[in-house]
Structure 1
Amino acid sequence: MKLLLLILIISCQECLTKKKSSKYEHSVRYHIFTLDKNQTIDLVHNIDVNISGICNPKTRSDYKLITHGFAETWNMTFRWNWVQEMIEEMLKSNQAKSLCIIAVDWAELAKGAKLTMNYWKAIENMKVTAEIMSIYSDKMKMNEKKFHCIGFSLGAHMCSIFYKTYFEMYKRKPFRITGLDPAGPFFSSKNTSEKLHHTDADLVDIIHTSDNFGLDEKNGHMDFYPDLGDINACNEVKQRFDNLENVILYEETTTNKKGVEYKEIQLNNLTEIDTLSVENLKKKLNSLFCKVKDFFSNKPKRVFISLHQFFGCSHLMSVRYFIYSINKCDYKSHMCNKKQDFEMKKCLDNSNSYDFARMGYHTERSNNKYLTSYGNFYLNTTNKPPYCDPSQNYKPGFFRSLWNKIIG
Structure 2
Amino acid sequence: MDEAFEWAKQGFNKSLPTKVLIHGFGSDCSYIWVYEIRSALMAVEEVNIICVDWSNGAALPNYVKASANTRLVGKQLSLLLRGLVEKNGLSLRDTHLIGFRLDPAGPLFEAQDPRARLDETDAAFVDVIHSNGENLILGGLGSSQPMGHVDFFPNGGRMQKGCSHLFVGAVTDIIWSTAVEGRSLCNHRRAYKFFIDSISPRCHFPAFPCGSYDDFLAGKCFPCTEGRQCGNMGYYADRSKGRGQLSSVPRKT
- Shorter-chain TM range is 0.7 to 0.9
The answer to whether the Cα contact below 8 Å between 1:232 and 1:381 also exists between their aligned partners in 2 is no
Rounded to whole Å, the distance in 1 between the matches of 2:203 and 2:155 is 15
State the shift of 1:350 in Å: 6.0
Tell me what 1:343 maps to.
217
Return closer, same or farther for 1:181/1:302 CA change in 2, 3 Å cut-off.
closer
* Pairwise CA distance, 1:339: 2.2
- 1:228 equivalent in alignment to 2:152: no
Q: Which residue is 1:171 aligned to? A: none
- Is 1:324 the equivalent of 2:197? yes
Which deviations, in whole Å up to 9, do the C-alpha atoms of 1:110-166 show, x marking residues without a partner? 22xxxx63222222222332232223222322111222111123xxxxxxxxxxxxx
Give the aligned partner of residue 117 of structure 1: 61
Asked if structure 1 preserves the Cα contact closer than 8 Å seen for 2:154 and 2:250, the reply is yes
* Structure 2 residue identity aligned to 1:202: A
Q: Does 1:146 align with 2:19?
A: no
Per-residue deviation at 1:365? 1.0
Mapping of 1:270-309 within 5 angstroms? 304-305=179-180, 309=183
Distance 1:131 1:52, change over 3 A: farther
1:339–1:378 Cα contact (<8 Å) kept: yes
Matched, 1:190 2:112: yes
Q: Does the alignment pair 1:381 with 2:250? A: yes
Q: Which runs of 5+ in 2 are unaligned?
A: 135-139
- Relative to 1, partners in 2 of residues 1:53 and 1:243: Cα closer, same or farther, differing over 3 Å? closer
Q: Could you tell me which amino acid in structure 2 is paired with residue 207 of structure 1? A: I
**For residues 83 and 178 of structure 2, what CA distance do their matches in structure 1 show?**
44
Which structure is larger by alpha-carbon Rg, 1 or 2?
1
RMSD: 3.1
- Structure 1 CA distance, aligned partners of 2:74 and 2:153? 28
Q: How far apart, in 2, do the equivalents of 1:313 and 1:138 lie?
A: 35
Distance 1:194 1:302 in 2: 26
The corresponding residue for 2:137 is: none
How far, CA to CA, are the matches of 1:91 and 1:349 in structure 2?
34
Counterpart residue type for residue 24 of structure 2: G
What CA distance in whole angstroms lies between the structure 2 residues aligned with 1:70 and 1:314?
A: 15
Change (3 A) 1:199 1:48: closer
Count of residues paired in the alignment: 236
Q: Following superposition of structure 1 onto structure 2, how do residues 363-382 of structure 1 map, counting pairs within 5 Å?
A: 363-367=237-241, 370=242, 373=243, 375-382=244-251
For 1:107, which of 55, 61, 64 is the aligned residue? 55
CA change 1:126–1:301 in 2 (3 A) is closer
User: What letter is aligned with 2:62?
Assistant: N
Secondary structure in structure 2 of the residue aligned to 1:224: strand
1:70 & 1:206 partners in 2: Cα distance?
A: 18
TM-score (norm 1): 0.52
C-alpha displacement of 1:301: 7.2
**Whole-angstrom CA distance in 1 between matches of 2:149 and 2:236:** 15
1:56 paired with 2:13, answer yes
1:135 maps to 2:79:
yes
- In the alignment, is the contact (CA less than 8 A) between 2:230 and 2:246 conserved in 1? no
Q: 1:229 to 1:130 in 2, by over 3 A?
A: closer
Alpha-carbon distance in 2 for matches of 1:75, 1:339: 36
- Whether the 8 Å CA contact 2:67–2:108 is kept in 1: the answer is no
Q: Cα offset for 1:53?
A: 5.0
For the pair 1:315 / 2:243, whether they are aligned, the reply is no
Question: Contact conserved, 1:55 with 1:140, CA < 8 A, in 2?
Answer: no
For 1:177, the equivalent position in structure 2 comes to none
1:128–1:231: structure 2 CA closer, same or farther, 3 Å change rule?
closer
Tell me whether 1:68 sits opposite 2:23 in the alignment: yes
Secondary structure at the residue paired with 1:82? helix
Q: Bigger relative contact order, structure 1 or 2, given CA contacts below 8 A and separation 6+? A: 2
Is the CA contact (8 Å cut-off) linking 1:322 and 1:361 kept in structure 2?
yes
- Per-residue CA distance 1:85-130 (angstroms, 9 max, x = gap): 100110001xx12x2111111111222xxxx632222222223322
The CA deviation string for residues 255-314 of structure 1, in whole angstroms up to 9 with x for no partner, is xxxxxxxxxxxxxxxxxxxxxxxxxxxxxxxxxxxxxxxxxxxxx9799439x83x6111
Over residues 29-67 of structure 1, what are the superposed CA-to-partner deviations in whole Å (9 max), with x where a residue is unaligned?
xxxxxxxxxxxxxx75x7753x2453332x21x211110
1:243 and 1:134 map into 2 onto residues whose CA distance is 38
Distance 2:93 2:81 in 1: 12
Instruction: Quote the Cα distance in structure 1 between the aligned partners of 2:11 and 2:52.
Output: 15
Corresponding residue for residue 360 of structure 1: 234
Which residue of 2 is the match for residue 9 of structure 1?
none
Q: SS where residue 110 of structure 2 aligns?
A: coil
